[in-house]
Amino acid sequence: MTSIITNSLKLQPPNSFVTKEFENGAISCSMTGTETGGRFAPTAIRMRAVRRASAYPARKDFANFLGITVPRLSNIENGFPISRDVQNRVTAKLPWVSRDWLIDGLEGGLTVATLQRLAPLVVEESDTTLPRSRSRGSASR
């Protein structure tokens, strides 16, 4: 009985070609955690639009308002996924923003006034032809 089990396994030695091919394939997988599109990922665009539509358009002020660090906000605005904690903070402090819109772009939970306020900002943030400057989110703008 043991010979049948041993023969059916057909184990390969650790240095075989197929094993190396599998290992190389695993190494090449992206583990960045960003959405496709980076800065132009849909959630990144919507988060920047929310910041600009808020009473705190400067990145530092908006991060302080939410109670998160500026690098964390920057990561979100550059395509990293929005954690549940940050989603909760945004929807609690800005009740005019719905989680469905922020994450999935579903407009059903937004008022007409909110849509009118956010739509031009989303279009502007989505435009890949506009030059980007570091002072974009400053309060003087």
pLDDT digits (tens, 9 = 90+) for 123-133: 999 988 877 65
**Domain limits for position 120:** 38-126
Predicted confidence (pLDDT) at residue 46 exceeds the cutoff of 70: yes
Q: How far is it, in rounded angstroms, from Cα 104 to Cα 16?
A: 45
Q: How far is it, in rounded angstroms, from Cα 122 to Cα 97?
A: 13
Please tell me the total count of domains within the chain. 1
First CA to last CA distance, the chain: 79
Query: Which of 27-31, 35-39, 85-89 is predicted most confidently?
Result: 85-89
Cβ-contact 87, 103 below 8 angstroms? yes
Is residue 53 in a domain? yes
Predicted local confidence at residue 128, as pLDDT: 83
CATH number assigned to the domain comprising residue 71: 1.10.260.40
Predicted local confidence at residue 2, as pLDDT: 53
pLDDT digits (tens, 9 = 90+) for 85-130: 999 999 999 999 999 999 999 999 999 999 999 999 999 999 888 7
| Residue of higher predicted confidence among 131 and 137 | 131
Q: How far is it, in rounded angstroms, from Cα 64 to Cα 68?
A: 6
Is residue 3 in a domain? no
| Residue of higher predicted confidence among 115 and 26 | 115
**Band (45; pLDDT cuts 50, 70, 90):** very high
Is residue 10 in a domain? no
Q: Which two tokens stand for residue 45?
A: 């665009």
Q: Which two tokens stand for residue 58?
A: 């400067």
Q: How far is it, in rounded angstroms, from Cα 91 to Cα 112?
A: 17
Nearest to 118 by CA among 97, 100, 132: 97
Predicted local confidence at residue 4, as pLDDT: 52
- Model confidence, pTM: 0.69
